[in-house]
Structure 1
Amino acid sequence: MSAIVIDDITADGRSLECDVRPRGRGERFFTGEPFEVTYDRPIEDVPDGVLAIPVLANVCPVAWANGADVYVDEVDETFAHALEDVQGVLESMYEFMEGGDLYARRTIDADPDSDPDPDGDGGESALLFTGGVDSTCSYVRHRDEEPILASIRGWTITPDPEDDGDWADLQERVSSFAAERDLDTAFLETNALEALDHAMLLAHYRHRVDGAWYSSVGHGLGLLGLCAPMAYVRGVEDVYVAATHWEGIDLEWGSCPAIDDRVRWASTRCHHDGYELTRQERVDVIADYVEAEAPTLELQTCNRRMDGNCGECEKCYRTAVGLRLSGLDPTAHGYPFSHEEYDEIRRAMERGEWELGQDERYMWADIRERARETDPESPAERRFFEWLVETDLEALVSEAESPLSHRLLRAGARNTPASVYNVAYPTWKSIQSGLDRVRSQ
């Protein structure tokens, strides 16, 4: 029998910690580290049933993939129902989902009439925010609500001390954006992907999902669930997470309307925002906002750095072209760019210098549709638009497997007994640490 026990949930000041004790088939997917989240306000007065939400949101998808039941002392009743709904969605999305039940000694109904934010300095909505195209578009759409801008360390920015600089850069950028608009911020830090054995999850499931485990399966429910104590403390009724994809994109992704719109707890409801807009249409929303209110707005989307945009990676170029197609000068909004670089984009794509996946294919196709309608401003831009309209984007997508050595490591991990793997884990982890870093669109 496979089971996962959530035990000893404690809130000490701003820190949440609990033990995760798996047994059976799912054991290899946990490192033995306590699950931890640090908030920027005290959470000691948050009910235990709400404190359980962050760990349940991250552990339950692993349990469902292994047919394991989950046991916890107390859980918010509304969230327990949300888990049932999300479980149904994931089981319909992935054949490897086997199910499992949640058992709680107590369910609670957090009083929706209580006032967890008596000082009134919070807001009634929050937005997961990085400063990229998607989250900035969602801010623009909901700016009348003055949402709390919530940023999370633990996914694309890991808890590793080597990422301290990136986290500081993100905090500074988000804080500056918020201060200019008189908004509140919330910064959360978690070791969720350290308590979960993300390397082993990747080894077992990468060949069955379009991307890594967390991006394809866990991150919609997982990231939103991390926000529950913060939302309770600040009286947040609505939490928005910006869409990555849009209607018509046939990719399985862990954050989508079917999942995110079902996540809820106490008096808080979550929303997958902007799904009806393509990425280029989201840039249009930002362009209108720039013209009306924010002429100096800078975006941050770079795959290589957090203290600005390198201007040379695929994502920087893609965003710069998108800004240009929405009538903005990329150099005025964080992207060093000249028309001569259109030839460089074409060369990089034709030579396979960038690892392009299905996400990028859809996004360049979206750009292509806008390019058909746009009058070029230079010969270089004309050449690029003509090439983009005629090129076979599917042929440019890199579907190549990882190097043989990486495939063998993953296969070995899949077939290693848990007792042996636990001894070998530090070596496996060090080898994997440079691989498969999740791309954030």
Structure 2
Amino acid sequence: MSSIVIDSPTAEGDTVECVVRPSADLARFFTGKPFTTSYDCSIEDVPESVLVIPVLANVCPVAWANGADVYVETVDATFARALEDVKASLLEMYDFLEGGTLYAKETTTSEPLERAADASDSALLFTGGVDSTSSYVRHREESPTLVSIRGWTISPGEAGETDWQHLQNRVTGFADERDLETAFIETNTLEALDHAMLLAHYKRFVDGAWYSSVGHGLGLLGLCAPMAYARGIEDLYVAATHWDGIDLEWGSRPDIDDYVRWSGTRCHHDAYELTRQERLDAIADYVETDAPDLQLQTCNVRMDGNCGECEKCYRTAVGLRLSGLEPSDHGYDFADTEYAAIRTALEEGQWILGQDERYMWADIRDRVRETEPDSPEEESFFEWLDGADLEALVDNSEPPLSHRLFRAGARNAPTPVYNAAYPVLKSAKGGLDRVRGR
């Protein structure tokens, strides 16, 4: 029987570590490294039932994909119920998931630690992009703690050090201007789980990568549990990527994130009722009343500003224009002459677009149809976009044959053979994976 045993976590200072022992048939999905997550506050007083949540949140979807049971010593009773609700949503979303049962020797409900008198009781996952900034605008009266995580889009270790510093500086600057607290979390989850092997097995079933398509709503929120418990956070928000009416298979949705909870904390999938353009409208109102110099960071290429030339930068710049803002005032060098470059890139397939980007450009097109252009270049682009076949711009092509054969070989290879080939597979991961920023 397929199983995953999670040993009791150990907490020292600000770091929790947990050893995971999969059955032999599941060993290929794990690298053998213990799961570690570090916080910028002490977590030594957090109960074991909560300390185990980060690893459970990231391991359980792997178990469910293989019909495996998971065993722990103790778990927070509220989170155990949340896992059942999230599992039901994911099983309804994906046919390839099989399910599994969580077995705990003990389930507990713990009283949260006492919160400092001046500390916020809410928190928001924050990057400084459109979605998280609009969620801040919506909840700014709560003065939420801004939470940023390393180990998801920013790699752990030396490779991601510069990008992590850029993100920390940006978030800290934003927080300091508004007298907000910050929380920075670092995890090796994507190193403890063998992401390349997860892709080899499951990429054929999902639109993006394993985490974006399956695991990231539960996984990212779960990583926050010890910090939220230690700080007395009652409400934890994660900004929506999509919006009501977009029914895409995606790892962060209301029917996932809104179920995530543990003793003292409930999670919320925020602003799902607003399209991306409407979120930009909310930001524009905030700029007008409170933050004329607000800078956004959405680039798919850089973390120290915006390149201004990738699909997401151009899409954000056009959206800012349509919300009445000048992109160059908010982090995007943009001139009317660049509308032609956007059209060319879209028509010639210079960007890899999925269904979610199609919806986002359709959202822009809806606003274009209500907007008077301000220049001949803008008018020409608006006219083209109004009649463009957006579905034809989506990349529906198969990955290269070499990648498909590589994945098939990895799926079917005996574990010792796979382990020997792992360095080669890992080096190809960038070509095998596609995690699109929003």
Tell me the TM-score range normalised by the shorter chain.
Answer: over 0.9
Verify the 8 A CA contact 1:210 1:251 in the aligned structure 2. Answer: no
Shift of 1:37: 0.3
Alignment correspondent of 1:238: 235
CA distance in structure 2 between the partners assigned to 1:150 and 1:266 by the alignment: 19
Shift of 1:420: 1.8
Moved more, 428-437 or 33-42: 428-437
Scaled by the length of structure 1, the TM-score of the pair is 0.98
Give SS of 1:152's match: strand
Tell me, which stretches of 5 or more residues in structure 2 are unaligned?
A: none
CA distance in structure 1 between the partners assigned to 2:159 and 2:431 by the alignment: 12
CA distance in structure 1 between the partners assigned to 2:349 and 2:430 by the alignment: 24
CA distance in structure 1 between the partners assigned to 2:431 and 2:348 by the alignment: 24
Give SS of 1:85's match: helix
Shift of 1:439: 1.9
TM-superposition CA deviations, 1:232-287 (whole Å, max 9, x none): 01000000000000011121000000000000000100000000000000000000
CA distance in structure 2 between the partners assigned to 1:143 and 1:405 by the alignment: 49
CA distance in structure 2 between the partners assigned to 1:433 and 1:247 by the alignment: 31
TM-superposition CA deviations, 1:188-223 (whole Å, max 9, x none): 000111111111111111110121110010000000
Give SS of 1:244's match: coil
Supply the RMSD in Å over aligned alpha carbons.
Answer: 1.0
Verify the 8 A CA contact 2:207 2:354 in the aligned structure 1. Answer: no
Give SS of 1:211's match: coil
Verify the 8 A CA contact 1:43 1:233 in the aligned structure 2. Answer: yes
TM-superposition CA deviations, 1:66-120 (whole Å, max 9, x none): 0110001110000000001111111111111111111111111012xx4333x33
Alignment correspondent of 2:399: 402
CA distance in structure 1 between the partners assigned to 2:322 and 2:279 by the alignment: 12
Residues 1:356 and 2:348 are matched in the alignment? no
Corresponding residue to 1:190 among 187, 192, 205: 187
CA distance in structure 2 between the partners assigned to 1:423 and 1:157 by the alignment: 27
Give SS of 2:212's match: helix
Matched ranges for 1:175-324 at <5 A: 175-324=172-321
CA distance in structure 2 between the partners assigned to 1:58 and 1:31 by the alignment: 14
Corresponding residue to 1:116 among 110, 114, 117: 114
Alignment correspondent of 2:137: 140
CA distance in structure 2 between the partners assigned to 1:309 and 1:329 by the alignment: 15
Call closer, same or farther: CA 1:92–1:242 in 2, change over 3 Å.
same
Verify the 8 A CA contact 2:37 2:185 in the aligned structure 1. Answer: yes
CA distance in structure 2 between the partners assigned to 1:58 and 1:115 by the alignment: 25
Give SS of 1:340's match: helix
CA distance in structure 2 between the partners assigned to 1:271 and 1:190 by the alignment: 22
Give SS of 1:96's match: coil
CA distance in structure 2 between the partners assigned to 1:138 and 1:257 by the alignment: 15
Verify the 8 A CA contact 2:208 2:434 in the aligned structure 1. Answer: no
Call closer, same or farther: CA 1:429–1:151 in 2, change over 3 Å.
same
Verify the 8 A CA contact 1:116 1:232 in the aligned structure 2. Answer: no
- Given residue 136 of structure 2, which amino acid in structure 1 is its aligned partner? Y
CA distance in structure 1 between the partners assigned to 2:149 and 2:431 by the alignment: 21
Shift of 1:423: 2.4
Corresponding residue to 1:430 among 411, 427, 436: 427
CA distance in structure 2 between the partners assigned to 1:182 and 1:224 by the alignment: 24
Q: Percent identity?
A: 70
Shift of 1:28: 1.4
Alignment correspondent of 1:32: 32
CA distance in structure 1 between the partners assigned to 2:142 and 2:118 by the alignment: 14
CA distance in structure 2 between the partners assigned to 1:347 and 1:433 by the alignment: 26
Alignment correspondent of 2:11: 11
Alignment correspondent of 1:411: 408
Verify the 8 A CA contact 1:25 1:66 in the aligned structure 2. Answer: no
CA distance in structure 1 between the partners assigned to 2:43 and 2:430 by the alignment: 32
TM-superposition CA deviations, 1:177-197 (whole Å, max 9, x none): 000000000000001111111
Shift of 1:427: 2.2
CA distance in structure 1 between the partners assigned to 2:193 and 2:120 by the alignment: 32
Alignment correspondent of 1:89: 89
Matched ranges for 1:25-64 at <5 A: 25-64=25-64
Alignment correspondent of 1:22: 22
Verify the 8 A CA contact 1:129 1:149 in the aligned structure 2. Answer: yes
Verify the 8 A CA contact 2:145 2:180 in the aligned structure 1. Answer: yes
- Given residue 382 of structure 1, which amino acid in structure 2 is its aligned partner? E
Corresponding residue to 1:163 among 157, 160, 164: 160
Verify the 8 A CA contact 2:68 2:101 in the aligned structure 1. Answer: yes
Shift of 1:432: 1.6
Corresponding residue to 2:149 among 149, 152, 163: 152
CA distance in structure 2 between the partners assigned to 1:225 and 1:120 by the alignment: 25
